């Protein structure tokens, strides 16, 4: 199932309405869809490097808007979706995200921008735990924006060779960033 969705998403990246598809995918992925927008953003930035900044901006804005929907789902509907969520692969990820929020608060949503854990899990957890809304939106803008601008600009500048390497090491890079943010959070917590 995921392979078909992935292949379909790559096909959307070449369509004449690709920017619209990218916006819809970015929105949907932040609250319920399983495929991250990177799979469209990367090939689009590669084929249109002059539009890389615009593409990263679209992806960020619509991802954050979708994150606000995910927050609303967690805030208003968690009791309704919880039984279904518990039956999925995402439940253990949700519990991990919930623990991160309890431990790190604002930093958890920032880290979610780079984490291999699906962002939608964090948005729903933020709503369920009633994280303050404005810090949630700001952390989402910073975390998601940093990720999408980094990907778009590196791909546009580095071409196909970099895209292949980035794809190969995306999970490792994600966990390295998560580790660095956790270390920074621990240092901040104990030093201040």
- pLDDT of 162 reads 65
Closest Cα to residue 180, out of 123, 112, 111, 94?
111
Helix, strand or coil, per DSSP, at residue 131: coil
Segment 102-159, tens digit of pLDDT: 888 778 888 887 776 788 888 999 999 999 999 999 999 999 999 999 989 888 888 7
In which band, very low, low, confident or very high, does the pLDDT at 1 lie, cut at 50, 70 and 90? very low
- pLDDT of 28 reads 94
Q: Which long-range contacts (CB under 8 A, 24 or more apart) does 171-178 make?
A: 171/116, 173/114, 174/114, 174/115, 174/116, 175/115, 175/116, 177/111, 177/114, 177/115, 178/111, 178/114, 178/115
Q: Mean of the pLDDT values across residues 4-24?
A: 76
Closest Cα to residue 148, out of 37, 34, 19, 31?
37
Segment 68-85, tens digit of pLDDT: 999 999 999 999 999 988
Domain count across the chain: 1
For residue 49, the 8-state DSSP code is G
- H helix intervals, the chain: 2-12, 18-29, 38-47, 52-86, 90-104, 106-112, 119-128, 133-191
- Is residue 123 within 8 A of residue 70, CB to CB? The reply is yes
Q: For residue 72, what are the domain limits?
A: 2-191
- pLDDT of 24 reads 93
Question: Which range, 86-95, 113-122, 169-178, is most confident?
Answer: 86-95
The more confident residue out of 22 and 102 is 22
CA distance 89 to 178: 21
The more confident residue out of 13 and 48 is 48
Segment 27-79, tens digit of pLDDT: 999 988 877 888 888 888 887 888 899 999 999 999 999 999 999 999 999 99
- Is residue 46 within 8 A of residue 7, CB to CB? The reply is no
In which band, very low, low, confident or very high, does the pLDDT at 2 lie, cut at 50, 70 and 90? very low
């Amino acid at each position: 199932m995921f392979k078909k969705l992935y292949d379909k998403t790559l096909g959307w990246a070449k369509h004449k309405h690709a920017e619209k598809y990218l916006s819809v995918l970015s929105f949907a992925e932040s609250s319920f869809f399983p495929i991250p927008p990177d799979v469209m953003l990367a090939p689009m930035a590669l084929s249109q490097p002059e539009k890389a900044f615009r593409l990263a901006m679209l992806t960020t804005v619509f991802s954050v808007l979708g994150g606000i929907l995910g927050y609303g789902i967690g805030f208003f509907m968690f009791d309704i979706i919880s039984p279904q969520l518990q039956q999925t692969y995402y439940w253990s990820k949700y519990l991990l995200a919930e623990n991160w929020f309890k431990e790190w608060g604002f930093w958890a949503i920032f880290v979610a921008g780079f984490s291999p854990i699906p962002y939608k899990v964090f948005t729903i957890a933020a709503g369920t735990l009633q994280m303050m809304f404005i810090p949630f939106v700001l952390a989402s803008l910073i975390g998601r924006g940093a990720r999408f601008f980094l990907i778009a600009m590196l791909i546009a500048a580095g071409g196909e060779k970099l895209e292949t390497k980035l794809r190969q090491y995306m999970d490792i890079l994600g966990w390295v960033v998560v580790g660095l943010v956790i270390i920074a959070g621990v240092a901040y917590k104990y030093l201040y």
